[in-house]
Amino acid sequence: MQTEKSPSRRGGAVNLILLIFALVALWQVLYWVAGESGLASPLNTIRYTAALVRRDDFAAHLYDTLSAFGIALAISVVMGLLVGFWLGFDRLSGDVFEPMFLSLYAIPKLTLYPILLLAFGLGLPAKVAFGVLHGVIPVILFTFGAVRNTRPILIKTGRVMKLSKSQMVRWILFPAAIPEIFTGLRVGFSLTLIGTLLAEMFASQRGLGYLLMTAIGLHNLQQVTAVTLLIVVFAAAVSSALLWLDRRLHFTGR
């Protein structure tokens, strides 16, 4: 898992603008290389995106994606926290299950999609299940790690103060674990989004992933590029915000 660097001394905003500028420049160069048949130009895409967003059916697709994603995220977080805390507290279960979750984390879950489709059918439940399948494991693993690795001195302090088990959780373990848990939620957010979108790409009649797949089928490059842009901007914006919060939590948590 990645560890983040401390915030830069040079303004983060300057870096971000530089990066976005570089990426758009790269896009334009790729457009020149690949030509009209390979990719839509940045300017063209922004124009098309503006039109796409205003189209009547777009709001319905967006709503579908967001509701599937929202449900999946809620389930991932609640299930992940519960299982993570359980594994963290119960030494034996933690030792038994942790390697299993680690290997589950590494398997290509995409291969399981036909099974999920057969089990849930096309539509919302399959999308949610696929999102949860991707998102829940990092939440479990990070929560588990956070609870397990609470600094011993904090636990000793709690014992000296004769805290009961529930007080220990409330006042010591939970606050100490918050930064790590938040990292898990951040990773869980990204993976749930990817899972939901992948499910839409492969098996759905609605949502942004479906828009992307139909555009691929119709070879509508402007739409492919526009939907890709929307997804990328949304994912990058939210996960940057979460990352910023994450770093603050880790910084003050020390």
Partner 1 sequence: MTRLRLYRFAVIAGAIALLEILCLARVIDPITMQAPHLVLRDFLRLLASGRMNAAIVKTMANTVLAFGLAAAAGLLLAVLLQRRRALRMTLDPLFATYYAVPVFAFYPFFIVVFGLGDLPQILIAFMLGVVAVIVNTLNGLDRVPAVLLKTARVLRLGPVETALRVTLPAAAPHIVGGLKLAVAYAFIGIIGSEFILSRGGIGYEINFAYNNFDNAVMYPLILLILLASVAFNSLLSRWERTLHARRGR
Applying CB under 8 A, which residues contact partner 1? 1-5, 8, 10, 12, 15-16, 18-19, 22-23, 34, 37-39, 92, 95-97, 99-100, 102-103, 106-115, 117-119, 187, 189-191, 193-194, 197-198, 201-202, 212-213, 216, 221, 224-225, 227-228, 231-232, 235-236, 238-240, 243
When the beta carbons of 150 and 225 are compared against partner 1, the nearer one is 225
Taking the complex as a whole, the smallest distance from the CB of residue 91 to partner 1 amounts, in Å, to: 11
**What distance in Å separates the CA atoms of residue 180 and residue 97, rounded to the nearest whole number?**
19
When the beta carbons of 97 and 174 are compared against partner 1, the nearer one is 97
Taking the complex as a whole, the smallest distance from the CB of residue 232 to partner 1 amounts, in Å, to: 5
Task: List the Cα angle 35/40/45 in 5-degree steps.
Answer: 155
When the beta carbons of 181 and 221 are compared against partner 1, the nearer one is 221
Taking the complex as a whole, the smallest distance from the CB of residue 15 to partner 1 amounts, in Å, to: 5
When the beta carbons of 136 and 213 are compared against partner 1, the nearer one is 213
Taking the complex as a whole, the smallest distance from the CB of residue 159 to partner 1 amounts, in Å, to: 26
When the beta carbons of 103 and 252 are compared against partner 1, the nearer one is 103
Kindly write down the DSSP assignment for every residue of the chain, as one continuous string.
---PPPPPSS-HHHHHHHHHHHHHHHHHHHHHHH-TTT---HHHHHHHHHHHHHSHHHHHHHHHHHHHHHHHHHHHHHHHHHHHHHHHH-HHHHHHHHHHHHHHHHS-GGGGHHHHHHHH-SSHHHHHHHHHHHHHHHHHHHHHHHHHT--HHHHHHHHHTT--HHHHIIIIIHHHHHHHHHHHHHHHHHHHHHHHHHHHHHS-SSSHHHHHHHHHHHT-HHHHHHHHHHHHHHHHHHHHHHHHHHHHHHHHT-
When the beta carbons of 33 and 160 are compared against partner 1, the nearer one is 33
Taking the complex as a whole, the smallest distance from the CB of residue 253 to partner 1 amounts, in Å, to: 18
Taking the complex as a whole, the smallest distance from the CB of residue 124 to partner 1 amounts, in Å, to: 18
